[in-house]
């Protein structure tokens, strides 16, 4: 069933509605476990849209196997998704910096607060992001070191390629994941693919993993895969490659490829003069788990990340 979790009237004959799709067994006892799949906080990240569709499709195909509740929230920021806007249109706000929100606050804060209220109490929440339009990411779960002990074992079951345990940062306390984790609703953040695109392979990979986790929780009784074993690392193993010149970045390697120390990762070139402004080399043997997708770079732009082996 489709439920509305927040509604806001817009000035010109339109209502903004945040919706979720609840899938549950024919009969419920009230003791069922609940998983929530959230995406579309950033309007330019679409990979999660396919995950929502595909998860729903597979559950419908084997409805008898569903033994718990699955809540799917495809668009926390529907105006953003619809208008290819990363933040909330009209407010120029990053929605993932206003959680837990405020029911008495402005429209954006009100919507955030209603979302947190609705998600609170889920046995697990998965917040799916798709990098941005600039960078392509390996399918990964990012976990703050504060919650690593509890969340890493769950993330290992999600069929992702990589688990990145990162340092806690005060600014991230305004995210949905932090807000939910801090009230006891376990929440994993998935980063995958690239903004403004859908990549079916990685979407299917994640759906396979979500079904594994659902089975672990007692929400799904169907056949599931054996999840792949992800690489796990902390910040120290990750090398950032930032542009030292402004120009066009031309990759010399492929995303998710292993490179050697000193191997060429890409070049920054000047289309006007025809000169190479910078050759970007790998600082270590490792995996190119992030690679620049949008070619125009400024000095400082991230062109890749290497996970040292």
Chain Cα centroid distance, residue 53: 16
162, 309 contact by CB (below 8 A):
no
Between CA 26 and CA 12 the distance in angstroms is 40
Q: Using the rule CB under 8 A, which residue among 247, 251, 286, 304 binds other proteins?
A: 247
Contact 191, 160 (CB under 8 A): no
238 binds other proteins (CB under 8 A): no
Say which residues have a Cβ less than 8 Å from residue 53's Cβ, sequence separation at least 6.
none
Say how far apart CA 137 and CA 206 lie, in whole Å.
Answer: 14
Q: Is residue 298 at the binding interface for other proteins, with CB under 8 A as the rule?
A: yes
Nearer to other proteins, 12 or 226 (CB): 12
CB closer to other proteins, 185 vs 278: 278
Cα separations (Å) of 45 from 52, 119, 122, 192, 218?
13, 20, 23, 10, 30
Choose, by CB under 8 A, the member of 5, 8, 154, 252 that binds other proteins: 8
CA pair distance 171, 138, nearest whole angstrom: 24
User: How far apart (Å, rounded) are the C-alpha atoms in residues 25 and 42?
Assistant: 31
Minimum Å gap between C-beta 12 and other proteins is 6
Region at 181 (left for phi over 0; alpha for psi -120 to 50; beta for the rest): alpha
Shortest reach from residue 116's CB to other proteins, in Å:
15
Q: Which residues contact 7 (CB under 8 A, 6 or more apart)?
A: 15, 16, 17, 18
**Secondary structure (DSSP) of 85-111:** -SSBTTTTB-GGGSTT--TTS-HHHHH
* 245 makes contact with other proteins (CB under 8 A): yes
Cβ of residue 198: shortest distance to other proteins, in angstroms?
22
Q: Toward other proteins, which CB reaches closer, 57 or 279?
A: 279
Distance (Å, rounded) from C-alpha 306 to C-alpha 284?
A: 8
Interface stretch with other proteins, choices 18-26, 65-73, 102-110, 223-231 (CB under 8 A): 102-110
Q: Does 17 bind other proteins (CB under 8 A)?
A: no
**Which residues, numbered 183-202, are part of the site for other proteins (CB under 8 A)?**
none
Which of the stretches 33-41, 48-56, 169-177, 256-264 binds other proteins when contact is defined by CB under 8 A?
169-177
Binding track over 265-294 against other proteins, x by CB under 8 A: -----xx-----------------------
* Helix H or strand E encompassing 116: helix 107-119
When asked if residue 170 is in the footprint of other proteins (CB under 8 A), the reply is: yes
Candidates 26-34, 104-112, 151-159, 252-260: pick the segment binding other proteins (CB under 8 A).
104-112
Stretches 172-180, 187-195, 216-224, 257-265: which one binds other proteins (CB under 8 A)? 172-180
Of residues 28, 84, 90, 264, which one binds other proteins by CB under 8 A? 90
> Which region, judged by CB under 8 A, interacts with other proteins, from 83-91, 182-190, 195-203, 254-262?
83-91
Binding site for other proteins (CB under 8 A): 8-13, 16, 86-87, 90-93, 97, 104-107, 110, 132, 134, 170-174, 240, 242, 245-248, 270-271, 296-302
């Amino acid at each position: 069933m489709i439920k509305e979790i927040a509604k806001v009237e817009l000035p010109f004959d339109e209502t903004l509605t945040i919706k979720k799709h609840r899938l549950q067994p024919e009969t419920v006892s009230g003791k069922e476990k609940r998983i929530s799949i959230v995406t579309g906080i950033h309007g330019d990240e679409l990979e999660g849209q396919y995950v929502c569709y595909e998860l729903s499709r597979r559950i419908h195909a084997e409805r008898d196997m569903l033994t718990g509740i699955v809540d799917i929230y495809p668009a926390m920021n529907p105006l953003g998704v619809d208008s290819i806007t990363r933040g909330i249109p009209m407010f120029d706000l990053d929605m993932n910096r206003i959680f837990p929100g405020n029911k008495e606050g402005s429209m954006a804060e009100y919507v955030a607060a209603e979302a947190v209220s609705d998600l609170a109490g889920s046995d697990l929440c998965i917040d799916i992001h798709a990098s941005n339009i600039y960078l392509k990411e390996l399918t990964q779960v990012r976990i703050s070191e504060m919650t690593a002990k509890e969340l890493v074992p769950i993330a290992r079951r999600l069929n992702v390629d990589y688990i990145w345990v990162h340092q806690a940062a005060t600014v991230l306390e305004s995210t949905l994941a932090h807000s939910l984790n801090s009230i006891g609703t376990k929440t994993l953040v998935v980063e995958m693919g690239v903004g403004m695109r859908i990549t079916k392979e990685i979407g299917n990979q994640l759906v396979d993993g979500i079904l594994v986790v659902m089975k672990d929780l007692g929400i799904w009784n169907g056949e599931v895969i054996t999840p792949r074993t992800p690489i796990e690392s902390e910040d120290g193993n990750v090398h950032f490659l930032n542009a030292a010149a402004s120009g066009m970045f031309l990759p010399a390697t492929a995303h998710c490829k292993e490179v050697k120390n000193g191997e060429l990762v890409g070049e920054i070139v000047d289309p006007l003069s025809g000169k190479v402004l910078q050759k970007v080399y790998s600082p270590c043997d490792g995996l190119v788990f992030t690679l620049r997708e949008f070619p125009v770079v400024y000095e400082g732009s991230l062109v890749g990340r290497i996970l040292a082996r």
